[in-house]
Structures are given as structure tokens and as C-alpha cells.
Amino acid sequence: MRLKHSLKQGIFSLLIIISPVLTTVPASAQSQILRTETSVQTQEYGDIWEYRENYVPVEYNPIPEFMVFADMTILIFLIIIGLMFVIGHKPSRWLSVLAIISLIYLGILRGGCICPVGAVTNITMGILSPEMVGLATVIIFLTPLIIALIAGRIFCTSGCPIGAIQHLMYSKKRRIRIPEKINKILRIVPVLILAATIYAAVYSKYYLICELEPYKAIFFLGKSWTGQIINFITGQSVEAKLLWAMGITAWIYLAVILIIGFWIPRPFCRFICPYGVLLGFFSMFSIKRRSINGEKCNQCGLCQRACPVEAISVDRKGKTSSLSHYDCIQCNKCTDACKKGAIVFKGLRYDKSANDPKNLTL
């Protein structure tokens, strides 16, 4: 039984490592071909290159133009409400409501491209050539990072449509814990992807992370359908070919990540997302922070079992518990699980227990 379980864990870990490779090679090959094809063929494929030209916020110019304000307002609104829910110790299901709104509006209706994750490339290019990046992109990129400096990775649960899919799929019951050593190795991958994203942006203006993002197949399909439904209602032409988005590779990649995510929570966030590295880094210096009150905690491990990103470690022998601010995505599931009220969210200045090295790890 134990052997079977370890084998399962090994297979999933391997899948996580190779899944970006699975998609990158064919996607880049496909993109190479698409760049040389006519725009009519490109539309037919519904590939990311076609989508990028129209929707990725290089200049961020969605039609109608006022939508840029609607999108930014909703994103900022979700993050601020999320911040209030997290600091107010509200149940995790309250944050799930924000995740659902983010998934439906920013993901399915707006195509998932109102996205700080993809904006890593835009901002990198903008640092070199400021005319390549619009103010809206800068705001979308910076807002979650500024909020992370206040209270951690609020955006990851409350505002990110990519995170929302994974958040809503999470189940404590079927979750498999990745062995610590493998987990440590896998956590280096997003840092490497961040470096590769910056390198690709500087040297070829290539949106590496858009290729690696698995949920775009769902988002692009949602966006296509939204546009077609609006066209239908307003009496404009409806194009049958746009009722399907992305190629077979993208859908296979999505299926692989969804299957992994069924047992291993948040695979994209934990092992791929380069923006998560930046959010994690900023969270390490946040003014208000989640911590475990050493006096109340009895090391029962309930919070550890509830945490989807393995941000909590409990040492029963040493009678200590610690929480990684880099990893914590502010989902409040540990607060729900703890029966002793030991998970607290306080400002560093006022919370002596949060400064206790036993209770804080980065």
C-alpha cells in the first residue's frame, strides 16, 4: 500500500517536472509555423499568437476602451475585499466567492489576459523600452505586489483567475503530499522560469509564461464564446471557427495539469508561476503577517493538513510550528482548521509571537 502511494507520488512529481516541457516544445514549434502563416490561417488555429495580438496588454487596448477601467477596477476591488477578509479572519468560503468572481469575469469573460502573471514580460520589455508598456499594465502588475507588502499574497486567492481554478479544485481529502525533498527541488523551478521569462522578453520579446500557462485554453474559449454571444445578441456576424479556441497541444497540457491538480493542489502556482516568485519575495517583508501563536498551538497538525501549498510545518517533537510567508497564498484554510485560534494575523510591530523565530520562517 505504502509502495503504491510512493509510486503515485513519484509519477505525479515527474509529471509536474515534465509538463511545462510537454507544452513548450510543441507550442514554440507551432508558434514558429504560425508566425509565417497568413492571418486567416492564424485565426483558424485560434493560437496564442492571434490572441496575443488582440488581447495581451502590450498596449492594453481592449474594445470598447472603457473596459480597461472596468477590468482594473474589478481586479483592485477583488484584492482589497480579499485583504479585508484575510485580515478579518473570515472563513475561507468567503474568499472562494472572490475566486469565483475572478474566474468568471477576469478568466472566462475577459479571457484571462488582465493578468499580472503575463505582465512580467511586458514590464521587462517596458524597462528596456518604456513606450512598449502602458500605464494600465504597470498598475495591474504593481497592485498585487504592493498589497503583498501590506499583507502577503492576497492576489493569489482573491484576484488571480489562474489561482481561482486551482483554489476551487482543491480538496483536502484527496490531496497527496509531495515528499519534502522533491518539494524543495520543485520550488526552484518557478525561479528558473522567472529568469527564463525575463531572458525571453529581453532577447526575443517572447511571452514564455503565456505559453506555459495551462488554463488559457479555458479562458480563450470563454472569451471567444462571450464575443460571439454579444455579436449574436447585437445582430452582428457570428463566426463558427471562433467557437473553438487553441490547438490540441494546449488542451492536452490543460488535461495533464488538471489531472495533477486533482491530487496535488495548485500545481501551476507552486511549480511554474514566475509572478508567484515575486509575490512570495514581497510577502516576506509584509507589514501584517499570518503567524502561529506558539502559546496557543498544541501541534495537532490540523492547519498543516489543510494548507494547499504546504506552507506550514509542525514539529511535534520540538513542539514548534512555523509558517512560510513566501509560500502562503492567504486562503484562510488554516484559520478555518485550527480549533485553538492559534493562527493570527497581526502587524509585526505589535505581535511579539510573530517575531519569535520559532513561529516565523521565510
Chain positions contacting ligand SF4, by CB under 6 A: 117, 155-156, 160, 162-163, 268-269, 273, 275-276, 279, 290, 306-307, 309, 311-312, 323, 328-334
Residue 273 vs residues 67, 105, 295: alpha-carbon distances, Å: 26, 21, 35
State the minimum distance, in angstroms, from the CB of residue 290 to ligand SF4. 6
Residue 47 vs residues 243, 298, 319, 346: alpha-carbon distances, Å: 13, 52, 53, 46
State the minimum distance, in angstroms, from the CB of residue 323 to ligand SF4. 5
Name which of 242 and 280 has its Cβ closer to ligand SF4: 280
Tell me the C-alpha distance between 290 and 150, whole Å.
11
Least Cα distance to 274 among 193, 156, 211 occurs for 193
Q: What are the phi and psi torsion angles at 232 (to 5°)?
A: -60, -45
Q: What angle do CA 91, 168, 313 make, to 5 degrees?
A: 65
Tell me which residue has cell 481561482.
164
State the minimum distance, in angstroms, from the CB of residue 134 to ligand SF4. 20
Return the number of other C-beta atoms located less than 10 Å from residue 191's C-beta. 14
| Distance in angstroms between the alpha carbons of the first and the last residue of the chain | 35
Name which of 79 and 309 has its Cβ closer to ligand SF4: 309
State the minimum distance, in angstroms, from the CB of residue 280 to ligand SF4. 8
Name which of 55 and 275 has its Cβ closer to ligand SF4: 275
Name which of 68 and 154 has its Cβ closer to ligand SF4: 154
Residues 34, 39, 40, 43, CA torsion sign:
positive
Least Cα distance to 151 among 291, 325, 289 occurs for 289
* Overall residue count recorded for the chain in this entry: 362
Name which of 189 and 306 has its Cβ closer to ligand SF4: 306
State the minimum distance, in angstroms, from the CB of residue 102 to ligand SF4. 10
Name which of 231 and 298 has its Cβ closer to ligand SF4: 298
State the minimum distance, in angstroms, from the CB of residue 12 to ligand SF4. 18
Q: How would you class 252 by CB atoms within 10 Å of its CB: exposed for 0-12, middle for 13-18, buried for 19 or more?
A: middle
Name which of 34 and 360 has its Cβ closer to ligand SF4: 360
Q: Is the peptide bond before 64 cis (omega within 30 degrees of 0)?
A: yes
Q: Are 256 and 15 in contact (CB under 8 A)?
A: yes
- Which three cell numbers, joined as nine digits, stand for 228? 460571439
State the minimum distance, in angstroms, from the CB of residue 327 to ligand SF4. 7
Q: Which residue is nearest to ligand SF4 (CB)?
A: 163
Tell me the C-alpha distance between 274 and 212, whole Å.
10
State the minimum distance, in angstroms, from the CB of residue 40 to ligand SF4. 33
Name which of 27 and 154 has its Cβ closer to ligand SF4: 154
